[in-house]
Amino acid sequence: MQIQHAEADLAEVRLHYVTAGEGPAVLLLHGWPQSWRMWEAIIPGLAARYRVVAPDLRGLGDSSRPEGGYDKKTVANDVWRLMSEVLGERSFFLVGHDWGGPTAFSLAAQHRDAVKRVAIFDAPVPGDGSPVFHAGRWHHGFHWEDGLAEALTTGREDTYLRFFYRTFGGSPDCVPEAAQQDYIRAYSQPGAMTAGFAYYRAMRQDIADNEAMLARDGKLRMPVLCYGGPLGRGRGMGAIESWRRVAEDVRGGIAEGCGHWIPEERPGWATAQLLEFFGETPG
């Protein structure tokens, strides 16, 4: 199994992405402060049966960093164009973690006939009707502070980001060191931290967009699989409870032994859950 790197020029943004395998398409959406590499241990298992696509989201990883467009409706449109216009995939399975989760919701809500099934790791949905989206997440408020967050983290990316890798999981070393080094490399590039903070600063727009889509079209009807981590700073049952507010068919629960970084903490287990879930759908 060989992972292939490519870039898609979508005019406003250039997306770096990787692909592997053949078959029905699976789109993997990473979160902050990560990149496509968070799926590295999962891709081989999926690629044995599927065509796997894992992009670096707008502004993150090795994708370009436009000044705007970090609301999840726009980010979702980026990856929709990658799948439909560049790769010719009109239907696919969808997986998201952290900010990849709200992006996955927006993509599924806008393209309900194209998204076959959705799998989510430790991520709720902004605008789900719950007032506790930020519970235990002090960094949300910090990242909203335009200019201040940059001033206090520039040149200290290694120290700042390693705090999250060390404390948000079930154990201090649950995110592989090689992955941490690559994340820090990517987020130390000019404008990368600002782009990451922009995902948080777009929250109010995300809430308004999601509330409007739910009011207009109702809950998602495709099956959803959602797991939250009970350890570290994982969201536990809060993740699946959020998705049950916005989707009709939600299964999953707790990823035992994990914190927030589930796909990197238990990649074999996560891969097995995805294969079983996607395997229920012919083709």
Check which CATH number belongs to the domain holding 149 and give it: 3.40.50.1820
What integer is the mean pLDDT of 62-78? Answer: 98
How many angstroms separate the CA atoms of 266 and 157, rounded? 26
**Residue 83 structure tokens:** 């799948």
Q: Crossing angle of helices 72-81/100-110, nearest 10°?
A: 70
Q: What is the pLDDT of residue 20?
A: 98
Q: What is the pLDDT of residue 140?
A: 86
Q: What are the residues facing 226 on neighbouring strands?
A: 120, 252
Helices (H) then strands (E): counts for the chain: 12, 8
| Residue 30, φ and ψ in degrees, nearest 5 | -80, 180
Grade residue 283 by pLDDT with cuts at 50, 70 and 90: very low
* Amino acid residing at 168: F
What integer is the mean pLDDT of 253-260? Answer: 97
Structural domain containing residue 213: 4-279
Q: Is 61 within 8 Å of 16 (Cβ atoms)?
A: yes
pLDDT tens digit sequence for 217-248:
999 999 999 999 999 999 999 999 999 999 99
Asked if pLDDT for residue 136 goes beyond 60, the answer is: no
Contacts of 240 (CB under 8 A, 6+ apart): 226, 227, 228, 250, 252, 253
**Residue 255 structure tokens:** 């990823």
Question: Domain count of the chain?
Answer: 1
DSSP codes joined into one string, 226-251: EEE--STT--THHHHHHHHHHBSSEE
**Residue 156 structure tokens:** 């200290």
% of the chain residues with pLDDT over 70: 97
Asked if pLDDT for residue 194 goes beyond 90, the answer is: yes
Q: What is the residue-averaged pLDDT of the chain? A: 95
- The pTM of the full predicted model, rounded to 2 decimals, is 0.96
pLDDT tens digit sequence for 25-54:
999 999 999 999 999 999 999 999 999 999
Contacts of 173 (CB under 8 A, 6+ apart): 166
Contacts of 182 (CB under 8 A, 6+ apart): 35, 37
Asked if pLDDT for residue 179 goes beyond 70, the answer is: yes
Q: What are the residues facing 97 on neighbouring strands?
A: 121
How many angstroms separate the CA atoms of 275 and 243, rounded? 20
Q: Is 222 within 8 Å of 116 (Cβ atoms)?
A: yes
Q: What is the pLDDT of residue 133?
A: 53
- Stronger pLDDT, 258 or 2, i.e. the higher one: 258
Grade residue 281 by pLDDT with cuts at 50, 70 and 90: low
- Active-site positions read 98, 200, 260
